[in-house]
Amino acid sequence: MLETVAIVGPLRFNAPLTQALSAPLLGAMHRRGRRPLAQFVACLTIRLLHYAVLTAFALFVLLGPKAYEGSYHVLFGWLPFLPGGLVGALILTAIGNVAFAIFFSIIQTNFYRHAIRGWSA
């Protein structure tokens, strides 16, 4: 994880951090014979919690609610079917977070299961 941050930079800290948080649990679950769905749900839960912390950090520390809402309005305010204001920004963020978490959790769980099966006991 530290090598990735050193090479790619501190802004890329979150991708390896999410994997570092979930990898030991996925390995332990695999060792105990847990099914892929249970591993996926565990990975998804960790990833969603991590994304929630990142969103809160961006909202309250980096940007502030007004700037967060303003960015949303500039990028998506022209779409009439999306709700406006900070609520709309948070709804769209939540939808994006869930979609990305599902996608990356599927990839991570399947990749880890494939890699662990290749190891000798």
pTM of this structure: 0.79
pLDDT confidence band for 121 (50 / 70 / 90): low
**pLDDT tens, position by position, 54-98:** 888 888 887 888 888 888 888 887 788 878 788 888 988 999 999
DSSP string, 49-115: HHHHHHHHHIIIIII-HHHHHHHHHHHHTT-TTS--HHHHHHHHHHHHHHHHHHHHHHHHHHHHHHH
